[in-house]
């Protein structure tokens, strides 16, 4: 299957290996990956900060960069959820762009959703001999609508032991600019998330969201903790 790859700006800038691993995983699943190097941010940071006009410009660019002729797959439920559920708000006065959005939005998928529910692939032959626990991202869970897709992929990774943490679906404290504007609250939320993860005995905290992992890893690094976050794509690419 031919697919278009959408890499969120923060993955492009901070975690490029996760982007390359996403390609590896999709190719292993039988996809031909097309990457438009003109792509940029989906507009979510601007939208969440109240800059709707600027977000609209980025939404227009997104709808230009990606075609409704083939699926758009991304290693982020947050960005895909934003494109699917919020573009109509910032494009409401532009009927031509709204029409483009209607054509595209049902073709936009988060990686684990696409693998499990579209391609019907749950075992890629990955190998990761470690104990892990899973963090459910707020946006992936509540906005995009992921349920057990990532876990169904993880349990088929050779050598991996998945141990559920308490409050796996509680926010990690990132929330985009929330972590900047409300640092003390964000830090306390990250501390609670990491404490629950450590209690499982896991060495890795897995998530579908690199932004959550950035916040979690920042806390772990500052306190020199023997646990770290890792993106689902990086695990699925392991051993391929």
pLDDT, tens digit (0-9, with 9 covering 90-100), for 88-110: 999 999 999 999 999 999 999 99
- pLDDT at residue 180 in the model: 78
- pLDDT at residue 239 in the model: 93
Task: Give CA–CA dist 45/19, Å, rounded.
Answer: 20
Domain spanning 131-236, CATH class: alpha beta
Tell me what the mean pLDDT of segment 59-84 comes to: 97
Task: Give CA–CA dist 6/97, Å, rounded.
Answer: 19
Domain ranges of the chain: 2-118, 131-236
- pLDDT at residue 181 in the model: 83
Backbone φ and ψ for 228, nearest 5 degrees, come out as -150, 160
- Give the Cβ contact number of residue 157 at 10 Å: 24
In angstroms, the first-to-last Cα distance of the chain is 19
- pLDDT at residue 176 in the model: 77
Task: Give CA–CA dist 189/32, Å, rounded.
Answer: 40
Confidence grade of residue 166 (pLDDT, cut at 50, 70, 90): very high
- For residues 87 and 105, is the Cβ–Cβ distance under 8 A? yes
Q: Of 145, 146, 201, 141, give the one whose Cα is nearest residue 170.
A: 141
- For residues 5 and 22, is the Cβ–Cβ distance under 8 A? yes
Q: Of 203, 210, 206, 207, give the one whose Cα is nearest residue 227.
A: 203
* pLDDT single digits (tens) 197-219: 999 999 999 999 999 999 999 99
């Amino acid at each position: 299957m031919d697919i278009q790859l959408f890499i969120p700006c923060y993955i492009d800038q901070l975690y490029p290996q996760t982007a390359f691993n996403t390609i590896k995983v999709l190719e292993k699943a039988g996809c031909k990956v097309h990457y438009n190097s003109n792509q940029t941010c989906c507009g979510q940071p601007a939208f969440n900060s109240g800059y709707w006009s600027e977000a609209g410009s980025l939404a227009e660019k997104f709808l230009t960069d990606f075609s409704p002729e083939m699926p758009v797959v991304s290693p982020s439920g947050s960005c895909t959820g934003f494109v699917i559920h919020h573009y109509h708000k910032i494009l409401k006065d532009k009927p031509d762009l709204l029409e483009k959005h209607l054509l595209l939005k049902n073709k936009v998928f988060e990686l684990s959703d696409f693998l499990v529910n579209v391609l019907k692939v749950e075992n890629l032959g990955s190998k990761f001999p470690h104990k892990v626990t899973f963090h459910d991202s707020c946006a992936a869970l509540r906005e995009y609508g992921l349920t057990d897709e990532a876990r169904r992929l993880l349990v088929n990774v050779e050598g991996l032991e998945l141990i559920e943490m308490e409050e796996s679906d509680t926010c990690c404290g990132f929330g985009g600019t929330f972590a900047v504007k409300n640092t003390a609250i964000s830090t306390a939320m990250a501390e609670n998330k990491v404490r629950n993860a450590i209690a499982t005995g896991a060495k890795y905290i897995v998530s579908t969201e690199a932004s959550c992992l950035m916040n979690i890893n920042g806390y772990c690094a500052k306190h020199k903790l023997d646990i770290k976050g890792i993106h689902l794509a990086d695990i699925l690419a392991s051993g391929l």
